[in-house]
């Protein structure tokens, strides 16, 4: 299991994370590991851990999952719930998407990719708001609700990947 990426980079654990703040934290920590700084020996593993933490926190979906885990929320493997009606809506949309792709693949792919990108943005905003509204300490029902929305977000990410691969 990876160490807490927020702790590794010395960042306050929150969903809203400015990319410049993330990069500054990374560079500050990794500079301390350079062999020429204070005559330290090879710190390859520590630098790799910092790089992994930066990569994870730069991805909003993975950052949300890491923050949820840190707060004691359910993981994707233990809670596969989705918002009410989400799966049936997606099944119907998939039929429409497949039909559109058969008739005009280029135009359909662009249309549905734009739609999925917009939906992803909506989930990013929704999850961010949910994190912002958590009480201290967070209530299990609120953490579960975040997991449910993260699961739907993951579904949208897979759809985007599939539209890009075709």
Rg over CA atoms, the chain: 19
**CA 17 → CA 60, 119, 141, distances in Å?**
9, 20, 24
Give tens-digit pLDDT for 129-163: 999 999 999 999 999 999 999 999 999 999 999 99
Give tens-digit pLDDT for 36-55: 655 455 567 888 899 999 99
Sign for the CA dihedral angle at 86, 91, 93, 98 comes to positive
What does the mean pLDDT of the chain come to? 93
Give tens-digit pLDDT for 14-32: 999 999 999 999 999 998 8
Sign for the CA dihedral angle at 7, 12, 15, 19 comes to negative
Q: Write down the pLDDT at residue 43.
A: 65
- When pLDDT is averaged across residues 56-78 and rounded to a whole number, the result is 97
Residue 150: how many CB atoms within 10 A of its CB? 22
Given a contact cutoff of 8 angstroms between Cβ atoms, the answer to whether 131 and 64 are in contact is yes
């Amino acid at each position: 299991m990876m160490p807490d990426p927020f702790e590794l980079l010395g960042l306050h654990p929150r969903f809203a994370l400015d990319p410049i703040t993330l990069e500054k934290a990374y560079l500050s920590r990794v500079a301390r590991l350079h062999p020429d700084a204070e005559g330290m020996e090879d710190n390859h593993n520590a630098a790799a851990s910092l790089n992994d933490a930066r990569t994870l926190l730069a991805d909003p979906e993975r950052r949300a999952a890491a923050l949820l885990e840190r707060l004691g929320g359910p993981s994707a493997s233990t809670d596969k719930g989705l918002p009410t009606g989400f799966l049936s809506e997606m099944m119907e949309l998939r039929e429409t998407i497949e039909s559109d792709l058969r008739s005009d693949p280029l135009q359909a792919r662009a249309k549905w990719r734009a739609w999925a990108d917009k939906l992803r943005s909506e989930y990013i905003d929704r999850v961010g708001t949910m994190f912002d509204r958590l009480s201290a300490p967070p209530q299990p029902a609120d953490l579960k609700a975040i997991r449910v929305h993260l699961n739907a977000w993951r579904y949208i990410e897979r759809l985007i990947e599939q539209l890009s691969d075709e």
